[in-house]
Structures are given as C-alpha cells and as structure tokens.
Amino acid sequence: MRGTWIGIALLLALLGIGKQWNLLPEWVTSIRDAAWLQGWYNLRRIFQTIFVAVVLLFLAVWFVAILWNSSWQLWLPISAITLLVALSVVRAVSLHAVDMFLYREWSPGVRFNWVLELGGILVLCLSAIVALFFPKPVRTKSNKTL
C-alpha cells in the first residue's frame, strides 16, 4: 500500500506542477502553432480525437491493471487519481464538444470541470485519512491478525 500512496503523491505533485506552470496547455499550444505553420491545422480535430481516444484507452488499461493487483482499500484512490489524470489530459487537448461540457456552469460560479477536479482531490484526501487512521490489519506468516 505504501508504494501506491507514494505513486499517487508523485502523480499529484506532477499534476500540480503542470497546472501551476501551465505546462500541458503550453505544449498543446506549441503543437497547434506547428500545425498552423505546416498547413494541417484543419485536420486537428481528427488528431485531437485520436489522441484523446488513445490516452483514454491507455488510462483504462492502466486502471484495470492497477486495480487487478491492488487491495480493495486502494480502489477508490486509484480511481480518483485516474480521473484526475484523464481530466487533465482531455482538458489540455481542448476539444470543442468536451469544452462545452466541462466549462458549462451548473449554477452561478460552479463548473463541471471544478466539480470533477475538486471532487477527485477530496476523494483522495478522504481515502488518505481513512488509510492513515484505519490501516489494513497486518498478517503474520501463520495468518493471524496482529
């Protein structure tokens, strides 16, 4: 379990650094500018769709592989970090239909994008608190709970 929590902490740190320094949107903007200069900007939607599909497929396979080898106590935090990574990548690619869904206001000042992002972080925090205060029982070689 410790390795999973270290991995989640590293992913959150990378997502935080990327958001603070605006790395992923800057990278996407540079690719968009290159597409404009090279004359294939009109085909960008095809490439965006393919990119999002490949990333989401990779995340789905990664998600299932990680869950397959994890204890049930880690399923919720792994699900939350997978959601946050997928949201970060899809938001950076900025498909118009996805943007309309993510940035639409549900009520004044509340966007779906914020609900997903802050909800994922909240789920990770609650999972960490539960793991900290209610640790998984340690078993000895004779299968007795300590």
Q: Where are the domains of the chain?
A: 2-133
Backbone angles phi, psi at 106, to 5 degrees: -80, -45
CB atoms under 10 Å from CB of 10, counted, come to: 10
Residue 145 predicted with pLDDT over 60 = no
Confidence of residue 95 (pLDDT cuts 50, 70, 90): low
Positive or negative: CA dihedral 45, 47, 52, 54: positive
Residue 101 class from Cβ within 10 Å (0-12 exposed, 13-18 middle, 19+ buried)?
Answer: exposed
Q: What is the pTM of this model?
A: 0.70
Confidence of residue 146 (pLDDT cuts 50, 70, 90): low
Q: What is the pLDDT of residues 10-26, one digit of tens each?
A: 988 998 888 888 777 77
Q: What is the pLDDT of residues 37-79, one digit of tens each?
A: 888 777 877 877 888 888 889 888 988 888 888 887 888 898 8
Q: Which residues are paired to 57 by β-bridges?
A: none
Q: What is the mean pLDDT of residues 125-144?
A: 76
